[in-house]
Amino acid sequence: MDKVVSQIWNMSQNISKGLIGSAEREELKKRVADIAITSFGAVNAEPVKIMRKSLLPSSGKKNATIFFTGEKAAADVATMINGTMTRYLDYNDTYLSKEALHPSDNIPPLIALGEHHELKGKEIIDAAAVSYETVCGLSDAVSIRDLGWDHVTYVSISSAAGIGHLLSMDEERFSHTLNLAINNNISLRQTRAGELSMWKGATAANACRNSVFASMLSENGYTGPAPIFQGEMGFFKQVSGEFSLNFSKSRIMKTMIKNYPVEYHAMSAAEAASELRNEIEGNIISIDVETFTVANTIIIKDPEKLRPKTRETADHSMPYIVAYTLKKGDPNPDSYGDKFLRDPEILGTIDLSHFKVTDKYDDMYPEFLPVKIQVKTDKGTYEKEIEAPKGHNKRPYTWDDLETKAKRVMNEDSAKSLIEFCKTFERKDTSEYLEVMRNVKA
C-alpha cells in the first residue's frame, strides 16, 4: 500500500481503538452543532438556491436529507448542497498551519451517509476524528498554496478517509476510496485569487461529493490509481513534493470555531476593530494595521480587496472587514450585501487604511493570530493589539458561546434545542439530528 495511505489507515484503526479522548469528542460534538448554525445562516443564500434549482429533484441508490428542508436527494447531491450551506458564510471552524483550512467541511458527507446507513452519532464522531486528523496532519506536513493548488485538495483526501472509516471498509477498499477521491480532484488555487466567485464557498463541498461517489464505487470493489502519493505520476511528483504524516498526537483541540463570519486570518482584526469602535472619538484620519505575511497574501494584497464586488471577496478582505466593523459594528451574515459593498462611508474608511507585515507577527503565526490596529482621529490616537481572538484554541468556545452564536441566525428556542441535542449527540441517531434541523426557526 502507498506509504501515506497506509499511515492514514493505521491512524483510523487507532481511533477505532480509542485514540481520541473525551475532550476531543466534546469538541467534535461542538463542530456538529456549529455546522448546523453556519448552514442555517446560508439556507437562502443565492448559490444554495441555484444548487437546489439545478440539482433537485434527485434520487439514487443511497439517499439523504437536505438540511432544514426535509427534501431527499442522492447522497452525493445532498453532500454538495449541505456542504455548500456549511461553508458558504465562511463561518465554520478553522485550522492554521502550513495550510489554513476548515476541518468541519468534512462533516456533511458523514451526516449524509450516516443517515442512509442508520448510524449513531458516536460513529459520526469517530469518522469525523479520522477526517480531522487527516486534514490537519496534511496541513502540518506541507503547504501547496504557493504551488498553485487549493487547500481543498486536502479535503478530497480527508473526506474520503472519514467516509471509509464510517462505512467500516477493509484496508483494500479504504485505500481505493482515497485513490479514487484524490486522483481527479486536485483543486486550483484560482478559487481564492482575485475577485472571488460563488465557487469559493462550494469547492470543499464538491470535494466531499466526489468522495461520496468514490466510496460507492470502492465499496463494491472498484479500484483506483495506485500508489496515489508515491507513484511515478502521483501526488508527490505532481502536487506537493514528498512528505510524511505524523499522527503521534491529536490535533482536534487546536481547531478553532469562528466568532465572526470572516476569513479566519481577519478574526483578530475584526475583534480589535470592534473594541476600538467602542473607544474612539472624533473623525478618523488614518488606520494603521500590523499583520503577518499569510494574512497579507490571502486577504490584503489583491487590489480587489480594496473594492470587493462580491460577498465572497468581501469576507476575504481585511481592509473591508476592518472598515465595516469600525463604521457599522460586528460582522454578521448580512454584512456583505450590495448596500454595504457600495457604502461610501465604508469605502472611504478603506482608503484611510494602511497595512504592514512585521517580522514579530510572522514569528508568532500560526501559533497565534496577531494583529495591531492604530486609529488616529482628530481627537486622539487609539490602539488595540490582539494575539488570539475569541474561539481560537487559546480562547476556546464553550457550549454557551455556541448558543450565543446560534441565536445570531435562529430563534432562541431553536438555538437552545440544537445545543442541548448536540451535547449528547453520540447517543443519538443521525436521523434525529436532521429532525432537529428541520424544526429550526429563523
Residues 6+ apart with CB under 8 A from 173: 164, 218, 219, 221
C-alpha cell at 206: 464538491
- Residue 272 and residue 233 share a domain: no
Helices (H), 142-250: 152-166, 171-183, 203-218, 235
- Residue 191 and residue 64 share a domain: yes
- Residue 358 and residue 310 share a domain: yes
In a domain, 186, yes or no: yes
The phi, psi pair for 144, rounded to 5°, reads -110, 0
- Residue 367 and residue 298 share a domain: yes
Residues 6+ apart with CB under 8 A from 348: none
User: DSSP code of 240?
Assistant: I
In a domain, 321, yes or no: yes
In a domain, 51, yes or no: yes
pLDDT at 17: 85
- Give the residue from 386, 403, 425 where a domain finishes: 386
- Residue 281 and residue 205 share a domain: no
- Residue 59 and residue 37 share a domain: yes
pLDDT at 20: 85
- Residue 331 and residue 301 share a domain: yes
> What's the farthest any 2 CA atoms get from each other in the chain?
72
- Residue 328 and residue 193 share a domain: no
In a domain, 198, yes or no: yes
Amino acid at 81: I
| Residue whose cell numbers read 448536540 | 422
Which structural domain range is residue 239 located in?
3-259+417-438
CA 274 from centroid of its chain's CA atoms: 23
How far is the C-alpha of 437 from the C-alpha of 431, rounded, in Å? 10
Q: Which long-range contacts (CB under 8 A, 24 or more apart) does 305-311 make?
A: 306/350, 306/351, 307/347, 307/350, 308/195, 308/336, 308/341, 309/195, 309/341, 310/195, 310/196, 310/197, 310/341, 311/336, 311/337
When divided into structural domains, the chain yields a total of: 2
CA 434 from centroid of its chain's CA atoms: 20
In a domain, 397, yes or no: no
- Residue 152 and residue 33 share a domain: yes
In a domain, 412, yes or no: no
Q: CATH number of the domain that 93 lies in?
A: 1.10.4100.10
Amino acid at 80: M
- Residue 289 and residue 245 share a domain: no
- Residue 424 and residue 355 share a domain: no
pLDDT means per 10 residues, the chain with 442 residues, are: 95 89 96 98 96 97 97 98 97 96 98 98 98 98 96 98 98 98 96 94 98 98 98 97 94 97 97 97 97 97 96 96 98 96 98 98 97 98 98 97 97 98 97 97 94
Q: CATH number of the domain that 288 lies in?
A: 3.30.1330.120
The phi, psi pair for 80, rounded to 5°, reads -65, -45
Residue 128 in contact with residue 161, Cβ under 8 Å? no
In a domain, 410, yes or no: no
In a domain, 196, yes or no: yes
pLDDT at 67: 98
- Residue 268 and residue 322 share a domain: yes
Query: For 330, what's the count of Cα atoms within 13 Å in the CB-facing half-sphere?
Result: 10
